[in-house]
């Protein structure tokens, strides 16, 4: 019964919000009504989503639809947001490059680094290198959820230790 009431209230508040926000020229006079109806809509959709009667994605979409008309005005701020994000990325890059030792490039793989990557000690035999590579590549291969960078590093380490060119 509670689910049916929540569903009816959600539909009712959705219709009211849509009419107030899409058809009314001056919504400031109805600010209190809009706030109350929006809160009612969000609560009803939350009840429906929590009960499993409505997907949370659909509930979020339904809660945002009445506000879309006003949301399109925010698109004019998109270049400004992109500019801020680019500045953040640049500052993040400067922090990474300052004060930290950078790993050598992939083409400059040393024997010591290869031993560290494959977790080997001393002077490993050919079979030990192959076994260590196989064990790690099975865990870190991109087809199994690993990254291409790690797989490339493992392959390069194996190549260096086996002296293949």
Give the CATH number of the domain where residue 132 resides. Answer: 1.10.287.110
> What's the confidence (pLDDT) of residue 128?
93
Last residue of a domain, one of 70, 89, 116: 70
**Number of domains comprising the chain:** 2
Please state the pTM of the whole predicted model.
Answer: 0.36
Domain membership flag for residue 96? no
> What's the confidence (pLDDT) of residue 98?
47
Instruction: Please indicate, yes or no, whether residues 61 and 17 belong to a single structural domain of this protein.
Output: yes
Domain membership flag for residue 77? no
Positions of the chain with pLDDT under 50: 98, 106, 165
C-alpha count within 13 angstroms, C-beta hemisphere, residue 157: 26
Q: What H or E segment, with its residue span, contains residue 159?
A: helix 148-161
Domain membership flag for residue 27? yes
User: What's the domain range around 149?
Assistant: 106-161
> What's the confidence (pLDDT) of residue 22?
64
Contacts 24+ apart (CB under 8 A), 118-125: 118/154, 118/157, 118/158, 118/161, 120/161, 124/161
Last residue of a domain, one of 43, 70, 97: 70
Domain membership flag for residue 85? no
């Amino acid at each position: 019964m509670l689910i049916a009431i929540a569903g009816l209230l959600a539909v009712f508040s959705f219709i009211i919000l849509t009419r107030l926000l899409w058809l009314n020229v001056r919504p400031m006079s109805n600010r209190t009504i809009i706030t109350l109806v929006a809160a009612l809509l969000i609560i009803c959709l939350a009840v429906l989503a929590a009960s499993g009667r409505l997907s949370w994605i659909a509930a979020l979409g339904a809660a945002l639809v009445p506000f879309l008309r006003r949301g399109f005005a925010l698109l004019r701020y998109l270049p400004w947001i992109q500019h801020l994000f680019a500045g953040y990325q640049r500052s993040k890059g400067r922090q990474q490059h300052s004060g930290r030792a950078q790993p050598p490039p992939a083409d400059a793989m040393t024997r010591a680094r290869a031993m560290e990557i494959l977790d080997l000690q001393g002077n490993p035999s050919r079979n030990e290198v192959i076994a260590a590579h196989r064990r790690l590549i099975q865990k870190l291969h991109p087809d199994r959820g690993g990254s291409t960078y790690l797989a490339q590093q493992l392959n390069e380490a194996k190549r260096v230790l086996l002296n293949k060119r």
